[in-house]
């Protein structure tokens, strides 16, 4: 299995191209967005990599509905085919935000995934883990000795995702991460976000053992009660993501909202 990463510095987002035996999945692709216009300039690197390596794209996997960037899942599908996939609980997120969606219907994802679902990728299996907390519709994809956790975990020095979005829950997030901590110690944890300085590279992967020992918010010595207090205090001081009012409506409907 081969894992390639693509860093979208403007939003601090990591996209992954995972391949095995000529087949591939893309996880959390990103569109460029500026002043009401979208572009695929950054995405083209991912598309080119698939074509240059002669890979057959099977799936475009979303870990959740993102609030800080616009998903390029549909753009990838139009360029390379492949099936779009996301948590079945996206319907709950849609219902929560429906009053702000200008009557636009939920985007037609090809697959709505549940805990325990499995997808094939070459000689590997993509196992679907439900990891709610950041949102109720977060998924982790377990492929070989690696997990792609979306926003659930950040680099150990940064902690975890926020849990104050509608439907989010610090309690759920603690329990989701505790489940992940039961996986083998040498599991590779691939992150969806990092925020390095201009001249630094992102921290995109850590071992599960490092997360369990060194994560500043949640490690094996932190109780659920302690984590909820830490997370809640941190969330109370966080600003709203600057693209939230554009990103969530777009990612739910694939239509840009009217911003007044």
Q: What percent of the chain has pLDDT over 90?
A: 95
Could you report the per-residue pLDDT of 61-101, keeping only the tens digit for each? Answer: 999 999 999 999 999 999 999 999 999 999 999 999 999 89
Position 256 in a domain: no
Position 178 in a domain: yes
Q: What is the CATH number of the domain that holds 44?
A: 3.60.15.10
Position 260 in a domain: no
Position 255 in a domain: no
Task: Compute how many other C-beta atoms are within 10 angstroms of the C-beta atom of residue 80.
Answer: 17
By residue range, what is the domain housing residue 59? 2-249
Position 259 in a domain: no
Angle between helix axes 170-180 and 224-235 (nearest 10 degrees) is 130
Position 89 in a domain: yes
Average pLDDT over residues 204-210: 98
Helix-, strand-, coil-residue percentages of the chain, each rounded to 5 = 25, 30, 45
Would you place residue 258 in the very low, low, confident or very high pLDDT band (cuts 50, 70, 90)?
Answer: low
Q: Per the structure, how many domains does the chain have?
A: 1
Position 257 in a domain: no
């Amino acid at each position: 299995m081969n894992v390639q990463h693509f860093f979208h510095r403007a939003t601090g987002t990591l996209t992954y191209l995972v391949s095995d035996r000529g087949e591939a999945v893309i996880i959390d692709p990103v569109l460029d967005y500026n002043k009401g216009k979208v572009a695929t300039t950054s995405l083209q690197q991912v598309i080119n990599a698939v074509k240059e390596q002669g890979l057959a794209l099977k799936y475009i996997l979303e870990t959740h509905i993102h609030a800080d960037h616009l998903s390029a899942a549909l753009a990838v599908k139009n360029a390379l085919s492949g099936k779009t996939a996301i948590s079945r609980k996206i319907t709950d997120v849609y219902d929560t935000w429906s009053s702000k969606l200008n009557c636009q219907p939920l985007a037609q994802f090809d697959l709505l995934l549940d805990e325990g679902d499995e997808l094939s990728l070459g000689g590997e299996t993509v196992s679907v883990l439900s990891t709610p907390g950041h949102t109720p519709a977060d998924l982790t994809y377990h492929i070989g000795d690696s997990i792609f956790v979306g926003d659930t975990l950040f680099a150990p020095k940064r902690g975890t995702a926020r849990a104050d979005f509608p439907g989010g829950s610090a309690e759920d997030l603690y329990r989701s991460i505790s489940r992940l901590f039961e996986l083998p110690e040498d599991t590779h944890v691939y992150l969806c976000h990092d925020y390095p300085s201009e001249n630094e590279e992102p921290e995109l992967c850590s071992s599960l053992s490092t997360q369990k020992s060194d994560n500043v918010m949640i490690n094996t010595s932190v109780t659920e009660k302690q984590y909820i207090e830490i997370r809640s205090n941190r969330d109370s001081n966080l600003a709203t993501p600057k693209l939230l009012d554009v990103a969530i409506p777009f990612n739910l409907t694939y239509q840009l909202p009217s911003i007044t």
